[in-house]
Structure 1
Amino acid sequence: MLDDFMTRATLAGIGVAFAAAPLGGFVVWRRMAYFGDATAHAAILGVALSLALQISIFAGAMALALTMALTVSVLSGRGYAMDTLLGVLAHSALAFGLVAVSFLSGIRIDLMAYLFGDILAVSRLDLAVIWGGAAVVVALIGWRWSALLTATLNEELAYASGIDPKREQLVLTLALAITVAVAIKVVGVLLIAAMLIIPAAAARPLARTPEGMVLIAAVIGAASAVIGLRAAYIFDTPAGPSIVCTAALCFAATSLFRVVRATSAGHSD
Protein backbone atom coordinates (compact mmCIF):
# COMPACT_ATOMS: atom_id res chain seq x y z
CA MET A 1 0.00 0.00 0.00
CA LEU A 2 2.84 2.41 0.86
CA ASP A 3 4.27 1.90 -2.64
CA ASP A 4 1.64 4.33 -3.93
CA PHE A 5 3.09 7.86 -3.82
CA MET A 6 -0.35 9.40 -3.22
CA THR A 7 -0.90 7.14 -0.21
CA ARG A 8 2.48 8.15 1.23
CA ALA A 9 1.74 11.82 0.56
CA THR A 10 -1.66 11.58 2.25
CA LEU A 11 -0.20 9.86 5.32
CA ALA A 12 2.57 12.48 5.46
CA GLY A 13 0.04 15.32 5.35
CA ILE A 14 -2.05 13.76 8.11
CA GLY A 15 1.09 13.23 10.22
CA VAL A 16 2.05 16.89 9.93
CA ALA A 17 -1.53 17.91 10.77
CA PHE A 18 -1.42 15.82 13.95
CA ALA A 19 1.93 17.35 14.96
CA ALA A 20 0.81 20.90 14.24
CA ALA A 21 -2.64 20.72 15.91
CA PRO A 22 -1.66 20.71 19.62
CA LEU A 23 1.14 23.17 19.02
CA GLY A 24 -1.02 25.42 16.83
CA GLY A 25 -3.44 25.99 19.70
CA PHE A 26 -0.68 27.46 21.85
CA VAL A 27 0.69 29.48 18.90
CA VAL A 28 -2.77 31.08 18.50
CA TRP A 29 -3.40 31.57 22.24
CA ARG A 30 0.03 33.07 22.87
CA ARG A 31 0.01 35.13 19.63
CA MET A 32 3.22 33.42 18.50
CA ALA A 33 2.61 33.53 14.74
CA TYR A 34 5.82 35.46 14.02
CA PHE A 35 7.69 33.12 16.36
CA GLY A 36 6.65 30.18 14.19
CA ASP A 37 7.70 32.03 11.05
CA ALA A 38 11.15 32.84 12.40
CA THR A 39 11.70 29.24 13.51
CA ALA A 40 10.57 27.86 10.15
CA HIS A 41 12.73 30.27 8.14
CA ALA A 42 15.81 29.20 10.08
CA ALA A 43 15.25 25.64 8.84
CA ILE A 44 16.44 26.52 5.31
CA LEU A 45 19.85 27.40 6.77
CA GLY A 46 19.73 24.05 8.57
CA VAL A 47 19.09 22.33 5.23
CA ALA A 48 22.12 24.05 3.66
CA LEU A 49 24.39 23.10 6.57
CA SER A 50 23.08 19.51 6.52
CA LEU A 51 23.93 19.14 2.84
CA ALA A 52 27.35 20.74 3.31
CA LEU A 53 28.20 18.51 6.28
CA GLN A 54 26.48 15.45 4.77
CA ILE A 55 24.27 14.85 7.79
CA SER A 56 20.54 14.20 8.14
CA ILE A 57 18.43 17.08 6.81
CA PHE A 58 15.91 16.40 9.59
CA ALA A 59 18.64 16.78 12.23
CA GLY A 60 20.07 19.94 10.66
CA ALA A 61 16.69 21.60 10.20
CA MET A 62 15.66 20.79 13.76
CA ALA A 63 18.97 22.01 15.22
CA LEU A 64 18.74 25.37 13.46
CA ALA A 65 15.03 25.76 14.18
CA LEU A 66 15.71 25.05 17.86
CA THR A 67 18.65 27.48 17.87
CA MET A 68 16.48 30.21 16.36
CA ALA A 69 13.66 29.59 18.83
CA LEU A 70 16.07 29.68 21.80
CA THR A 71 17.69 32.86 20.45
CA VAL A 72 14.32 34.58 20.27
CA SER A 73 13.47 33.44 23.80
CA VAL A 74 16.77 34.78 25.15
CA LEU A 75 16.63 38.14 23.35
CA SER A 76 12.96 38.85 24.03
CA GLY A 77 12.37 41.46 26.70
CA ARG A 78 15.88 42.92 26.37
CA GLY A 79 15.07 46.22 24.77
CA TYR A 80 13.72 44.95 21.47
CA ALA A 81 10.10 45.02 20.39
CA MET A 82 9.12 41.39 19.82
CA ASP A 83 7.66 41.92 16.33
CA THR A 84 10.78 43.83 15.25
CA LEU A 85 13.12 41.18 16.67
CA LEU A 86 11.21 38.35 15.02
CA GLY A 87 11.04 40.18 11.70
CA VAL A 88 14.80 40.78 11.66
CA LEU A 89 15.67 37.21 12.67
CA ALA A 90 13.13 35.51 10.37
CA HIS A 91 14.15 37.32 7.20
CA SER A 92 17.86 37.25 8.05
CA ALA A 93 17.78 33.49 8.64
CA LEU A 94 15.96 32.90 5.34
CA ALA A 95 18.39 35.15 3.43
CA PHE A 96 21.49 33.55 4.96
CA GLY A 97 20.02 30.13 4.23
CA LEU A 98 19.42 30.94 0.57
CA VAL A 99 22.93 32.42 0.23
CA ALA A 100 24.43 29.34 1.92
CA VAL A 101 22.59 27.08 -0.53
CA SER A 102 24.13 28.98 -3.45
CA PHE A 103 27.63 28.03 -2.20
CA LEU A 104 26.88 24.31 -2.31
CA SER A 105 28.83 23.47 -5.45
CA GLY A 106 28.48 19.94 -6.75
CA ILE A 107 25.29 19.32 -4.75
CA ARG A 108 22.02 19.37 -6.64
CA ILE A 109 19.21 20.81 -4.56
CA ASP A 110 15.63 21.60 -5.50
CA LEU A 111 15.25 24.85 -3.60
CA MET A 112 11.55 25.17 -4.42
CA ALA A 113 10.91 21.81 -2.74
CA TYR A 114 12.30 23.12 0.55
CA LEU A 115 10.56 26.49 0.25
CA PHE A 116 7.11 25.18 -0.71
CA GLY A 117 7.37 21.47 0.07
CA ASP A 118 7.47 18.37 -2.09
CA ILE A 119 4.96 16.08 -0.44
CA LEU A 120 4.62 13.86 -3.53
CA ALA A 121 8.29 12.85 -3.15
CA VAL A 122 7.90 11.62 0.43
CA SER A 123 9.64 8.26 0.93
CA ARG A 124 8.95 5.51 3.46
CA LEU A 125 11.82 6.81 5.58
CA ASP A 126 10.40 10.35 5.44
CA LEU A 127 7.05 8.93 6.50
CA ALA A 128 8.62 7.22 9.50
CA VAL A 129 10.38 10.46 10.50
CA ILE A 130 7.17 12.52 10.13
CA TRP A 131 5.03 10.16 12.20
CA GLY A 132 7.80 9.63 14.75
CA GLY A 133 8.17 13.40 15.14
CA ALA A 134 4.40 13.83 15.38
CA ALA A 135 4.26 11.19 18.14
CA VAL A 136 7.00 12.98 20.09
CA VAL A 137 5.24 16.37 19.76
CA VAL A 138 1.86 14.96 20.84
CA ALA A 139 3.46 13.13 23.77
CA LEU A 140 5.44 16.21 24.83
CA ILE A 141 2.43 18.55 24.71
CA GLY A 142 0.20 15.96 26.38
CA TRP A 143 2.73 15.47 29.19
CA ARG A 144 2.90 19.22 29.93
CA TRP A 145 -0.68 20.09 28.91
CA SER A 146 -1.97 21.36 32.26
CA ALA A 147 1.19 23.34 33.04
CA LEU A 148 1.31 24.81 29.53
CA LEU A 149 -2.32 25.92 29.75
CA THR A 150 -1.78 27.53 33.16
CA ALA A 151 1.36 29.35 31.98
CA THR A 152 -0.48 30.52 28.86
CA LEU A 153 -3.52 31.83 30.72
CA ASN A 154 -1.78 33.61 33.60
CA GLU A 155 1.93 33.69 34.45
CA GLU A 156 1.28 34.84 38.03
CA LEU A 157 -1.09 31.94 38.58
CA ALA A 158 1.55 29.62 37.11
CA TYR A 159 4.19 30.86 39.57
CA ALA A 160 1.71 30.49 42.44
CA SER A 161 1.07 26.89 41.34
CA GLY A 162 4.78 26.10 41.30
CA ILE A 163 5.02 26.19 37.50
CA ASP A 164 7.92 27.95 35.77
CA PRO A 165 6.55 29.69 32.62
CA LYS A 166 10.04 29.86 31.12
CA ARG A 167 10.39 26.09 31.37
CA GLU A 168 7.03 25.65 29.65
CA GLN A 169 8.18 28.06 26.95
CA LEU A 170 11.18 25.79 26.37
CA VAL A 171 8.83 22.81 25.97
CA LEU A 172 6.88 24.71 23.30
CA THR A 173 10.17 25.73 21.67
CA LEU A 174 11.32 22.12 21.41
CA ALA A 175 7.94 20.98 20.07
CA LEU A 176 8.00 23.78 17.50
CA ALA A 177 11.49 22.82 16.30
CA ILE A 178 10.43 19.18 15.86
CA THR A 179 7.28 20.20 13.98
CA VAL A 180 9.26 22.45 11.64
CA ALA A 181 11.74 19.65 10.93
CA VAL A 182 9.05 17.08 10.09
CA ALA A 183 6.91 19.52 8.08
CA ILE A 184 9.64 20.91 5.83
CA LYS A 185 9.32 18.06 3.30
CA VAL A 186 5.53 18.36 3.21
CA VAL A 187 4.72 22.08 2.99
CA GLY A 188 8.14 23.78 2.96
CA VAL A 189 9.55 26.49 5.20
CA LEU A 190 7.35 29.26 3.79
CA LEU A 191 4.09 27.44 4.56
CA ILE A 192 4.87 25.68 7.86
CA ALA A 193 3.58 28.59 9.95
CA ALA A 194 0.34 28.51 7.94
CA MET A 195 -0.29 24.88 8.89
CA LEU A 196 0.38 25.73 12.52
CA ILE A 197 -1.94 28.71 12.65
CA ILE A 198 -4.78 28.25 10.14
CA PRO A 199 -6.30 24.93 11.36
CA ALA A 200 -6.13 26.11 14.98
CA ALA A 201 -7.70 29.46 14.07
CA ALA A 202 -10.39 27.67 12.05
CA ALA A 203 -11.15 25.39 15.00
CA ARG A 204 -11.54 28.23 17.51
CA PRO A 205 -15.16 29.22 16.68
CA LEU A 206 -16.26 25.58 16.90
CA ALA A 207 -14.62 24.65 20.19
CA ARG A 208 -15.87 25.05 23.75
CA THR A 209 -12.70 23.85 25.49
CA PRO A 210 -8.93 23.99 24.74
CA GLU A 211 -8.88 20.21 24.32
CA GLY A 212 -11.80 20.43 21.90
CA MET A 213 -10.01 23.10 19.88
CA VAL A 214 -6.92 20.91 19.50
CA LEU A 215 -8.98 17.90 18.39
CA ILE A 216 -10.97 19.96 15.87
CA ALA A 217 -7.74 21.57 14.59
CA ALA A 218 -6.30 18.08 14.03
CA VAL A 219 -9.40 17.07 12.04
CA ILE A 220 -9.32 20.29 9.97
CA GLY A 221 -5.59 19.92 9.31
CA ALA A 222 -5.92 16.27 8.28
CA ALA A 223 -8.96 17.01 6.09
CA SER A 224 -7.08 19.91 4.48
CA ALA A 225 -4.19 17.58 3.66
CA VAL A 226 -6.47 14.94 2.09
CA ILE A 227 -8.68 17.37 0.16
CA GLY A 228 -5.77 19.65 -0.81
CA LEU A 229 -3.81 16.71 -2.24
CA ARG A 230 -6.84 15.54 -4.19
CA ALA A 231 -7.39 19.05 -5.57
CA ALA A 232 -3.72 19.30 -6.53
CA TYR A 233 -3.99 15.99 -8.38
CA ILE A 234 -7.17 17.02 -10.23
CA PHE A 235 -6.22 20.60 -11.09
CA ASP A 236 -2.44 20.03 -11.44
CA THR A 237 -1.56 22.63 -8.81
CA PRO A 238 1.33 22.65 -6.27
CA ALA A 239 0.50 20.21 -3.46
CA GLY A 240 1.78 22.16 -0.44
CA PRO A 241 0.07 25.45 -1.33
CA SER A 242 -3.11 23.55 -2.25
CA ILE A 243 -3.23 22.06 1.26
CA VAL A 244 -2.81 25.50 2.82
CA CYS A 245 -5.51 26.96 0.52
CA THR A 246 -7.91 24.23 1.65
CA ALA A 247 -7.15 25.06 5.29
CA ALA A 248 -7.76 28.75 4.53
CA LEU A 249 -11.17 27.90 3.06
CA CYS A 250 -11.99 25.99 6.26
CA PHE A 251 -11.02 29.10 8.24
CA ALA A 252 -13.29 31.24 6.06
CA ALA A 253 -16.17 28.79 6.59
CA THR A 254 -15.83 28.67 10.38
CA SER A 255 -15.42 32.46 10.54
CA LEU A 256 -18.66 32.84 8.58
CA PHE A 257 -20.30 30.38 10.96
CA ARG A 258 -19.20 32.49 13.93
CA VAL A 259 -20.63 35.66 12.34
CA VAL A 260 -23.95 33.96 11.56
CA ARG A 261 -24.18 32.51 15.08
CA ALA A 262 -23.41 35.88 16.67
CA THR A 263 -26.02 37.58 14.45
CA SER A 264 -28.63 34.96 15.33
CA ALA A 265 -27.89 35.33 19.03
CA GLY A 266 -28.25 39.10 18.74
CA HIS A 267 -31.64 38.81 17.04
CA SER A 268 -32.92 36.32 19.63
CA ASP A 269 -32.08 38.77 22.41
Structure 2
Amino acid sequence: MLDDFMLRATLAGIGVALAAAPLGCFVVWRRMAYFGDATAHAAILGVALSLALSVSVFAGALAVALIMALAVNALTGRGFAMDTLLGVLAHSALAFGLVAVSFLEGIRIDLMAYLFGDILAVSRLDLAVIWSGALAVVALIAWRWSALLTATLNTDLAFANGIDPRREQLVLTLALAITVAVAIKVVGVLLIAALLIIPAAAARPLARTPEAMAVIAALIGAGAAVLGLRAAYLFDTPAGPSIVCVAALAFLTTSLLGVGARRA
Protein backbone atom coordinates (compact mmCIF):
# COMPACT_ATOMS: atom_id res chain seq x y z
CA MET A 1 0.00 0.00 0.00
CA LEU A 2 2.89 2.37 0.79
CA ASP A 3 4.21 2.00 -2.75
CA ASP A 4 1.97 4.95 -3.73
CA PHE A 5 4.06 8.12 -3.32
CA MET A 6 0.95 10.29 -2.84
CA LEU A 7 -0.19 8.09 0.04
CA ARG A 8 3.23 8.35 1.68
CA ALA A 9 3.19 12.13 1.18
CA THR A 10 -0.29 12.42 2.70
CA LEU A 11 0.65 10.31 5.74
CA ALA A 12 3.83 12.36 6.18
CA GLY A 13 1.87 15.62 6.08
CA ILE A 14 -0.66 14.36 8.62
CA GLY A 15 2.13 13.14 10.90
CA VAL A 16 3.86 16.51 10.89
CA ALA A 17 0.52 18.29 11.45
CA LEU A 18 -0.18 16.14 14.54
CA ALA A 19 3.22 17.03 16.01
CA ALA A 20 3.04 20.71 15.11
CA ALA A 21 -0.52 21.35 16.37
CA PRO A 22 -0.14 21.15 20.18
CA LEU A 23 3.36 22.61 20.03
CA GLY A 24 2.11 25.41 17.78
CA CYS A 25 -0.50 26.33 20.36
CA PHE A 26 2.22 26.94 22.95
CA VAL A 27 4.25 28.87 20.37
CA VAL A 28 1.22 31.14 19.83
CA TRP A 29 0.37 31.49 23.53
CA ARG A 30 3.98 32.25 24.49
CA ARG A 31 4.59 34.47 21.42
CA MET A 32 7.55 32.30 20.41
CA ALA A 33 7.07 32.55 16.64
CA TYR A 34 10.57 33.91 16.04
CA PHE A 35 11.99 31.22 18.34
CA GLY A 36 10.52 28.57 16.04
CA ASP A 37 12.01 30.34 13.03
CA ALA A 38 15.47 30.44 14.59
CA THR A 39 15.39 26.74 15.42
CA ALA A 40 14.16 25.83 11.93
CA HIS A 41 16.82 27.94 10.19
CA ALA A 42 19.52 26.22 12.22
CA ALA A 43 18.43 22.88 10.81
CA ILE A 44 20.01 23.62 7.40
CA LEU A 45 23.41 23.67 9.14
CA GLY A 46 22.53 20.30 10.61
CA VAL A 47 21.73 19.00 7.11
CA ALA A 48 25.13 20.13 5.82
CA LEU A 49 26.99 18.57 8.75
CA SER A 50 25.10 15.28 8.47
CA LEU A 51 25.89 15.01 4.76
CA ALA A 52 29.56 15.84 5.38
CA LEU A 53 29.80 13.23 8.15
CA SER A 54 27.63 10.65 6.32
CA VAL A 55 25.09 10.39 9.13
CA SER A 56 21.30 10.59 9.13
CA VAL A 57 19.91 13.97 8.02
CA PHE A 58 17.27 13.61 10.73
CA ALA A 59 19.96 13.15 13.41
CA GLY A 60 21.99 16.12 12.14
CA ALA A 61 18.98 18.44 11.91
CA LEU A 62 17.75 17.34 15.35
CA ALA A 63 21.15 17.88 17.00
CA VAL A 64 21.74 21.35 15.57
CA ALA A 65 18.12 22.46 16.12
CA LEU A 66 18.39 21.34 19.74
CA ILE A 67 21.72 23.13 20.20
CA MET A 68 20.23 26.32 18.73
CA ALA A 69 17.17 26.14 20.96
CA LEU A 70 19.29 25.51 24.07
CA ALA A 71 21.61 28.38 23.11
CA VAL A 72 18.67 30.76 22.83
CA ASN A 73 17.43 29.56 26.22
CA ALA A 74 20.84 30.13 27.81
CA LEU A 75 21.41 33.57 26.26
CA THR A 76 17.97 34.96 27.06
CA GLY A 77 18.20 37.83 29.52
CA ARG A 78 21.96 38.32 29.04
CA GLY A 79 21.72 41.89 27.80
CA PHE A 80 20.08 41.34 24.43
CA ALA A 81 16.44 41.84 23.53
CA MET A 82 14.85 38.50 22.59
CA ASP A 83 13.87 39.57 19.06
CA THR A 84 17.39 40.88 18.39
CA LEU A 85 19.03 37.70 19.71
CA LEU A 86 16.73 35.44 17.68
CA GLY A 87 17.23 37.52 14.55
CA VAL A 88 21.01 37.27 14.82
CA LEU A 89 21.03 33.53 15.55
CA ALA A 90 18.37 32.59 12.99
CA HIS A 91 19.93 34.33 10.01
CA SER A 92 23.49 33.49 11.04
CA ALA A 93 22.67 29.79 11.32
CA LEU A 94 20.93 29.79 7.93
CA ALA A 95 23.85 31.62 6.30
CA PHE A 96 26.48 29.32 7.81
CA GLY A 97 24.40 26.32 6.76
CA LEU A 98 24.15 27.48 3.15
CA VAL A 99 27.89 28.23 3.05
CA ALA A 100 28.67 24.81 4.56
CA VAL A 101 26.55 23.14 1.88
CA SER A 102 28.62 24.85 -0.83
CA PHE A 103 31.79 23.17 0.50
CA LEU A 104 30.40 19.65 0.13
CA GLU A 105 32.32 17.98 -2.67
CA GLY A 106 31.12 14.87 -4.44
CA ILE A 107 27.66 15.17 -2.89
CA ARG A 108 24.70 16.26 -4.98
CA ILE A 109 22.18 18.12 -2.85
CA ASP A 110 18.87 19.62 -3.85
CA LEU A 111 18.96 22.72 -1.68
CA MET A 112 15.41 23.74 -2.64
CA ALA A 113 14.13 20.46 -1.21
CA TYR A 114 15.54 21.34 2.21
CA LEU A 115 14.47 24.99 2.05
CA PHE A 116 10.88 24.39 0.86
CA GLY A 117 10.39 20.67 1.43
CA ASP A 118 10.08 17.68 -0.87
CA ILE A 119 7.13 15.81 0.57
CA LEU A 120 6.54 13.88 -2.67
CA ALA A 121 9.94 12.21 -2.25
CA VAL A 122 9.17 10.84 1.23
CA SER A 123 10.30 7.21 1.52
CA ARG A 124 9.04 4.46 3.81
CA LEU A 125 12.00 5.11 6.12
CA ASP A 126 11.24 8.85 6.14
CA LEU A 127 7.63 8.05 6.98
CA ALA A 128 8.69 5.86 9.91
CA VAL A 129 10.98 8.64 11.21
CA ILE A 130 8.28 11.30 10.81
CA TRP A 131 5.63 9.30 12.65
CA SER A 132 8.05 8.20 15.38
CA GLY A 133 9.03 11.81 15.96
CA ALA A 134 5.42 13.02 15.81
CA LEU A 135 4.25 10.44 18.35
CA ALA A 136 7.19 11.31 20.62
CA VAL A 137 6.23 15.01 20.51
CA VAL A 138 2.54 14.29 21.15
CA ALA A 139 3.43 11.98 24.07
CA LEU A 140 5.84 14.55 25.55
CA ILE A 141 3.31 17.40 25.32
CA ALA A 142 0.50 15.20 26.71
CA TRP A 143 2.70 14.13 29.63
CA ARG A 144 3.62 17.71 30.55
CA TRP A 145 0.39 19.39 29.38
CA SER A 146 -0.84 20.65 32.77
CA ALA A 147 2.59 21.90 33.86
CA LEU A 148 3.28 23.51 30.49
CA LEU A 149 -0.09 25.25 30.52
CA THR A 150 0.39 26.55 34.08
CA ALA A 151 3.89 27.83 33.31
CA THR A 152 2.56 29.53 30.16
CA LEU A 153 -0.35 31.24 31.92
CA ASN A 154 1.46 32.52 35.00
CA THR A 155 5.02 31.88 36.19
CA ASP A 156 4.17 32.86 39.78
CA LEU A 157 1.31 30.35 39.82
CA ALA A 158 3.69 27.76 38.40
CA PHE A 159 6.22 28.32 41.20
CA ALA A 160 3.41 28.15 43.78
CA ASN A 161 2.47 24.73 42.40
CA GLY A 162 6.05 23.47 42.49
CA ILE A 163 6.56 23.81 38.73
CA ASP A 164 9.83 25.16 37.35
CA PRO A 165 9.02 27.33 34.29
CA ARG A 166 12.57 26.93 32.92
CA ARG A 167 12.21 23.14 32.99
CA GLU A 168 8.95 23.39 31.06
CA GLN A 169 10.68 25.71 28.59
CA LEU A 170 13.27 22.97 28.05
CA VAL A 171 10.45 20.48 27.36
CA LEU A 172 9.10 22.82 24.68
CA THR A 173 12.63 23.27 23.33
CA LEU A 174 13.07 19.50 22.94
CA ALA A 175 9.65 19.11 21.32
CA LEU A 176 10.40 21.98 18.93
CA ALA A 177 13.74 20.46 17.89
CA ILE A 178 12.09 17.09 17.16
CA THR A 179 9.31 18.76 15.17
CA VAL A 180 11.79 20.75 13.09
CA ALA A 181 13.79 17.59 12.35
CA VAL A 182 10.76 15.60 11.18
CA ALA A 183 9.17 18.49 9.26
CA ILE A 184 12.23 19.45 7.22
CA LYS A 185 11.41 16.81 4.58
CA VAL A 186 7.77 17.90 4.36
CA VAL A 187 7.79 21.71 4.21
CA GLY A 188 11.47 22.68 4.46
CA VAL A 189 13.21 24.96 6.93
CA LEU A 190 11.69 28.18 5.57
CA LEU A 191 8.09 27.01 6.05
CA ILE A 192 8.27 24.99 9.28
CA ALA A 193 7.39 27.99 11.45
CA ALA A 194 4.34 28.63 9.25
CA LEU A 195 3.08 25.08 9.82
CA LEU A 196 3.57 25.56 13.56
CA ILE A 197 1.84 28.92 13.84
CA ILE A 198 -0.88 29.15 11.20
CA PRO A 199 -3.05 26.10 12.16
CA ALA A 200 -2.85 27.10 15.84
CA ALA A 201 -3.77 30.71 15.02
CA ALA A 202 -6.62 29.47 12.80
CA ALA A 203 -7.94 27.29 15.62
CA ARG A 204 -7.95 30.08 18.19
CA PRO A 205 -11.28 31.75 17.21
CA LEU A 206 -13.03 28.35 17.19
CA ALA A 207 -11.82 27.01 20.54
CA ARG A 208 -13.19 27.58 24.03
CA THR A 209 -10.50 25.61 25.91
CA PRO A 210 -6.76 25.07 25.40
CA GLU A 211 -7.35 21.36 24.76
CA ALA A 212 -9.96 22.13 22.11
CA MET A 213 -7.57 24.56 20.43
CA ALA A 214 -4.88 21.85 20.18
CA VAL A 215 -7.34 19.34 18.69
CA ILE A 216 -8.79 21.85 16.21
CA ALA A 217 -5.27 22.95 15.22
CA ALA A 218 -4.38 19.31 14.52
CA LEU A 219 -7.48 18.92 12.33
CA ILE A 220 -6.72 22.14 10.43
CA GLY A 221 -3.09 21.13 9.95
CA ALA A 222 -4.01 17.65 8.72
CA GLY A 223 -6.68 19.10 6.44
CA ALA A 224 -4.18 21.61 5.05
CA ALA A 225 -1.75 18.76 4.31
CA VAL A 226 -4.37 16.72 2.44
CA LEU A 227 -5.91 19.63 0.52
CA GLY A 228 -2.53 21.23 -0.17
CA LEU A 229 -1.23 18.03 -1.71
CA ARG A 230 -4.39 17.72 -3.79
CA ALA A 231 -4.01 21.32 -5.00
CA ALA A 232 -0.34 20.72 -5.83
CA TYR A 233 -1.33 17.66 -7.88
CA LEU A 234 -4.12 19.46 -9.74
CA PHE A 235 -2.35 22.76 -10.41
CA ASP A 236 1.27 21.52 -10.60
CA THR A 237 2.42 23.79 -7.77
CA PRO A 238 5.11 23.15 -5.10
CA ALA A 239 3.67 20.82 -2.46
CA GLY A 240 5.11 22.40 0.71
CA PRO A 241 4.08 26.00 -0.09
CA SER A 242 0.67 24.72 -1.27
CA ILE A 243 0.08 23.14 2.16
CA VAL A 244 0.96 26.43 3.87
CA CYS A 245 -1.33 28.35 1.48
CA VAL A 246 -4.28 26.13 2.41
CA ALA A 247 -3.52 26.65 6.10
CA ALA A 248 -3.40 30.43 5.50
CA LEU A 249 -6.82 30.30 3.83
CA ALA A 250 -8.13 28.41 6.86
CA PHE A 251 -6.74 31.15 9.11
CA LEU A 252 -8.46 33.82 7.01
CA THR A 253 -11.75 31.93 7.14
CA THR A 254 -11.74 31.36 10.91
CA SER A 255 -10.65 34.96 11.53
CA LEU A 256 -13.62 36.25 9.51
CA LEU A 257 -15.92 33.86 11.36
CA GLY A 258 -14.55 35.12 14.66
CA VAL A 259 -15.10 38.76 13.68
CA GLY A 260 -18.64 37.93 12.54
CA ALA A 261 -19.41 36.13 15.81
CA ARG A 262 -18.18 39.08 17.90
CA ARG A 263 -20.29 41.55 15.93
CA ALA A 264 -23.34 39.35 16.28
SS, match of residue 50 in structure 1: helix
Match of 2:222, SS state, is helix
Structure 1 position 109, deviation (Å):
0.3
Matches within 5 A, 1:142-161: 142-161=142-161
In structure 1, what is the Cα distance between the partners aligned to 2:203 and 2:171? 23
**Distance across 2 between alignment mates of 1:77 and 1:155:** 16
Deviations 1:86-140 (A, max 9, x none): 0000000000000000000110000000000000000000000000000000000
The within-5 A match list for 1:129-168 is 129-168=129-168
User: Could you tell me how far apart the structure 1 residues matched to 2:151 and 2:78 are?
Assistant: 21
Alignment partner, residue 38 of structure 2:
38
Answering whether residue 89 of structure 2 is matched by residue 125 of structure 1, we say no
Alpha-carbon offset, residue 32 of structure 1: 0.2
- 1:7 corresponds to: 7
Q: How does 1:201-212 map to 2 (within 5 A)?
A: 201-212=201-212
**Following TM superposition, where does structure 1 have runs of at least 4 consecutive aligned residues deviating by more than 6 angstroms?**
none
- TM-score, normalization: structure 2? 1.00
Equivalent in the alignment of 2:24: 24
Which residue pairs with 2:221 in the alignment? 221
One-letter amino acid of the counterpart of residue 174, structure 1 = L
Distance apart, 1:179 and its partner CA: 0.1
Helix, strand or coil at the partner of 2:31: coil
In 2, the alpha carbon distance for the partners of 1:75 and 1:144 equals 24
> What RMSD, in angstroms, separates the aligned Cα atoms of the two structures?
0.3
Are 1:177 and 2:177 an aligned pair? yes
Offset, 1:164: 0.3
Counterpart-to-counterpart distance in 1, 2:236 and 2:222: 20
The CA distance in 1 between the partners of 2:142 and 2:259, in whole Å, is: 32
Aligned equivalents of 2:206, 2:18: Cα separation in 1: 18
State the SS of the aligned residue for 1:43: helix
Shift of 1:157: 0.5
Deviation at 1:13, TM superposition (A): 0.2
Matched length? 264
Deviation at 1:27, TM superposition (A): 0.1
Q: How big is the shift at 1:165? A: 0.3
Structure 2 gap segments, 5+ residues each: none
Paired residue for 1:82?
82
Structure 1 unaligned blocks of 5 or more: 265-269
**Residue deviations 1:43-83 (CA, integer Å, cap 9, x gap):** 00000000000001000000000000000000011110000
Matches within 5 A, 1:65-76: 65-76=65-76
